[in-house]
Structure formats: structure tokens, C-alpha cells
């Protein structure tokens, strides 16, 4: 039986004329929450960012419908407030320093704890939650996911620009995020007790403000009975977000079967994972990474094919295989979000065109 899953997405609020980010997220969220989204719309630390969440879904068709409806509701709320939303991992245009911090005690505590790190938290990601109430099982599943994380990062790269500058990377968001004390690929954990022991040490020394600031790319959710995979840039389109979520759920289900069978998880060295992350963030699918299972160089397109083959049993069982294969072929043909951002810029040399290509629409066009 396929596990329930859902998505959280963050979007930039942009001025429709200048296409620069503007600190109007609270207005957009208030309007969206007053409509159909309710508590599924929320603000973030930086006032440029608005977040929305789907409910848990049983199958891919339901999730696709929920993501489209969620984006439509957020886009409509933004238009009603005289602004727009853009789906990019980093802001293409805008003045970012000092960042406008959303009011609230928790955000004030974050600034007091993390200081200058919060200055570059102007980033938008996609978090996929997969149902897993057994936290020990969730930690062990996370161990099995670690070798696939760099490839997932390459597939979802959608953040080449930062405030008017091409960073030379496909996923700049991942590199700004990597500065945090508890972020990036998680360590290998022997059990949930081991996980809790490490987290307790990090809380005790002040590296964590609370369990909500465990920013490893895979973790048992701090507030939901799920395993949370949180390494991706927000997808340019609802369709891409849905394909990515289906692929993640399939990887989780394959890993859960391995855990239940008592199979040991691969344990690539953390330094190799870190290097693989950087290669994925620099070049995305177009580049050569490293297969952390073998330590040998490998094109990310070949690693993506390996990932699909690994996920195949769960994709087939859920009836998702054709949809995901079609989505991945389309991605390989058209390029990642980062590739398409740069293509939009090349056409006329205007970053405003990049923002326009990323706008979240109530009736999403094909792009």
C-alpha cells in the first residue's frame, strides 16, 4: 500500500513592475488563509517569502490536484494584493540586505541565535513529507536515502541567480543553506535513540535553537508523523513538484522495504556526500558528479537513471511509473529550472524575463 504524502512550498513575493522581491508576504498569506487555504498558508522568517502546504494525499493524482489548487489560491491572493509570486530557490532581483524579518518572538529568537546567517535565509524550497509515524523506522529509512540525495538535488536545481547576479551554480540555495550548523545531508544514525542523543547534544551546546531548527535534508518531522525530505528548490511548476514528490515517495517506500527486511544501509563518507552535493549544486543535471556508492565520477544523468531504476518497484506498485518517467524525460529534454532560468535570460539579456518565466499562475501555463 502506498504511503500518504504531501508537499510544502515557499514562494517569493515580487512587485509586478520591477519584478523585485517585496516584503508583502504577510498580506498574501492573510488573504489566502481567509480563503480556502486556512492554516495551510503561512509566513516565513523573511518577509519576502510565503509558504503553502497540501493536505496528506493517498495517490499522485490527488496530490497533483492539491498542488495546482494550492498554487492557484496563493497566486490569486497575491494578485488581489497587487503583487505576484515567483517559484525560484533564490531571488532573481531585489535588495536583500538587511532582510526584512517577519515580526514574532520565534523569528526574533532566530536572529538572536543565528545572527548573520539569517541575512541569507531569503531562499525558497520544497519539502516532501511521507507518512511514517514510527520514528525509529524513519531514521533508518533516512540512512538508505543518503546515497540518492545529491542526485535529487541535481534534478531539482532551480536557483542560479542571487539578487541580479548569476552565481555560476545551478542550486545556489543549497550552498547558502550549507552554512548552518545542522544542515545538508544527515549523518548515518544507528537508531532513533542515537538520533535523539545527537540532537540532545546539539541542543545542549546551543547549535540548535529547538527541534524545529534541525535542518538536515532528511529528518523525522518535528511536528508531523512523517519523514521529511527537504533538500529541493521550489519547483518552477506544479507538474514538476508533483513528479519530484512521487519520486521521493517511491525512494522512501523502497528504503522502508529494505529496513523491514533488515538490510544494512549504505554508509558513504560524509565528506564524499558533501563533495557530491557541491557538484550537484554547481552543475545540476548537466554536470558530472560522484557516485557516492562507489566513489567514482559519474554524469548526473546516469545517476538519475540509476535512481529511477532503484525506485522502479515502488513506482510500479503505486501506478506512478508512467507519470514519473514522462516527467523525467521532459526534464532531461528541457533542462532543470536553473537551465530554463538562464535560457530565459539569454533570449533578451533581461533578468525581468527570468522572473516572468517563474511567476506562479492561477491557471498554470506549460513552461
Residues 211-228 have pLDDT tens digits of: 999 999 999 998 999 999
Residue 351 — pLDDT band, cuts 50, 70, 90? very high
Measured between its terminal Cα atoms, the distance across the chain in Å is 33
Q: Which residues pair with 321 in a beta bridge?
A: none
pLDDT score recorded for residue 8: 98
Q: How many CA atoms, within 13 angstroms, populate the side-chain half-sphere of residue 33?
A: 13
Domains in the chain (CATH in brackets) are: 5-358 (3.30.590.20)
Residue 209 — pLDDT band, cuts 50, 70, 90? very high
What sign does the CA torsion over 127, 311, 278, 273 have? positive
β-strands 165-166, 296-299: how paired? unpaired
Average pLDDT over residues 128-148: 98
| Contact yes or no for 6/131 (Cβ under 8 A) | no
Residue 361 — pLDDT band, cuts 50, 70, 90? confident
Nearest to 5 by CA among 125, 132, 124: 132
What sign does the CA torsion over 214, 220, 226, 230 have? positive
**Which has more confidence, 54 or 106?**
54
Phi-psi region of 184 (alpha: psi -120 to 50; beta: other; left: phi over 0): left
Cis peptide leading into 98, omega within 30 of 0? Answer: yes
pLDDT 10s digits, 262-308:
999 999 999 999 999 999 999 999 999 999 999 999 999 999 999 99
pLDDT score recorded for residue 365: 61
Which range (124-133, 169-178, 309-318, 358-367) has the least confidence?
Answer: 358-367
Model pTM greater than 0.85? yes
pLDDT score recorded for residue 367: 58
| Contact yes or no for 70/53 (Cβ under 8 A) | yes
The CA distance from 144 to 134, in Å, is 16
How distant, in Å, are the alpha carbons of 16, 255, 267, 343 from that of 126? 23, 21, 25, 23
pLDDT score recorded for residue 120: 79
The CA distance from 119 to 121, in Å, is 6
Give residues with Cβ within 8 angstroms of 125, minimum separation 6: 9, 10, 89, 173, 230, 231, 232, 233, 234
Provide the percentage of residues in the chain whose pLDDT is more than 70: 99
pLDDT score recorded for residue 108: 87
Average predicted confidence (pLDDT) for the chain: 96
Q: Which residues pair with 14 in a beta bridge?
A: 21, 84
Q: Say yes or no to pLDDT of 1 above 80.
A: no
| Contact yes or no for 67/242 (Cβ under 8 A) | yes
Nearest to 48 by CA among 28, 23, 26, 30: 23
Phi-psi region of 14 (alpha: psi -120 to 50; beta: other; left: phi over 0): beta
CA 159, 38, 90: angle at the middle one, nearest 5? Answer: 10
Average pLDDT over residues 24-39: 97
What grid cell was written down for 45? 522568517
Average pLDDT over residues 305-317: 98
Amino acid at each position: 500500500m502506498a504511503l500518504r504524502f504531501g508537499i510544502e512550498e515557499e514562494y517569493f513575493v515580487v512587485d509586478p513592475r520591477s519584478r523585485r522581491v517585496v516584503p508583502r508576504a504577510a498580506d498574501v498569506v492573510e488573504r489566502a488563509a481567509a480563503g480556502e487555504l486556512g492554516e495551510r498558508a503561512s509566513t516565513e522568517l523573511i518577509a519576502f517569502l510565503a509558504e503553502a502546504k497540501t493536505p496528506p494525499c493517498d495517490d499522485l493524482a490527488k496530490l497533483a490536484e492539491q498542488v495546482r489548487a494550492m498554487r492557484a489560491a496563493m497566486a490569486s491572493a497575491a494578485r488581489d494584493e497587487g503583487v505576484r509570486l515567483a517559484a525560484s530557490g533564490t531571488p532573481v532581483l531585489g535588495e536583500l540586505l538587511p532582510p526584512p524579518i517577519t515580526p514574532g518572538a520565534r523569528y526574533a529568537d532566530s536572529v538572536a541565535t543565528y545572527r548573520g546567517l539569517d541575512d541569507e535565509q531569503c531562499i525558497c524550497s520544497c519539502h516532501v513529507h511521507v507518512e511514517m509515524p514510527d520514528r525509529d523506522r524513519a531514521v533508518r529509512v533516512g540512512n538508505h536515502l543518503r546515497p540518492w540525495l545529491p542526485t535529487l538535488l541535481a534534478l531539482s536545481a532551480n536557483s542560479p541567480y542571487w539578487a541580479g547576479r548569476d552565481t555560476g551554480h545551478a542550486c545556489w540555495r543549497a550552498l547558502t543553506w550549507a552554512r548552518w550548523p545542522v544542515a545538508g545531508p544527515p549523518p548515518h544514525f544507528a537508531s532513533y535513540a542515537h538520533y535523539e542523543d545527537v540532537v540532545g547534544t546539539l541542543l545542549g551546546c546551543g547549535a540548535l535553537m529547538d527541534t524545529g531548527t534541525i535542518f538536515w535534508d532528511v529528518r523525522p518531522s518535528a511536528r508531523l508523523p512523517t519523514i521529511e525530505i527537504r533538500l529541493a528548490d521550489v519547483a518552477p511548476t506544479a507538474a514538476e513538484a508533483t513528479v519530484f514528490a512521487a519520486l521521493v515517495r517511491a525512494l522512501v517506500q523502497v528504503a522502508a522495504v529494505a529496513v523491514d527486511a533488515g538490510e544494512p544501509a549504505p554508509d558513504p563518507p560524509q565528506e564524499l556526500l558533501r563533495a557530491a552535493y557541491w557538484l550537484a549544486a554547481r552543475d545540476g543535471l548537466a554536470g558530472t558528479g560522484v557516485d557516492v556508492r562507489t566513489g567514482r565520477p559519474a554524469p548526473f544523468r546516469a545517476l538519475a537513471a540509476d535512481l529511477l531504476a532503484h525506485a522502479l518497484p515502488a513506482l510500479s506498485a503505486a501506478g506512478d511509473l508512467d507519470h514519473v518517467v514522462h516527467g523525467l524525460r521532459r526534464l532531461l529534454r528541457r533542462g532543470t529550472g536553473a537551465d530554463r532560468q538562464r535560457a530565459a535570460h539569454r533570449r533578451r539579456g533581461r533578468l525581468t524575463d527570468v522572473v516572468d518565466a517563474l511567476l506562479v499562475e492561477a491557471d498554470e501555463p506549460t513552461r
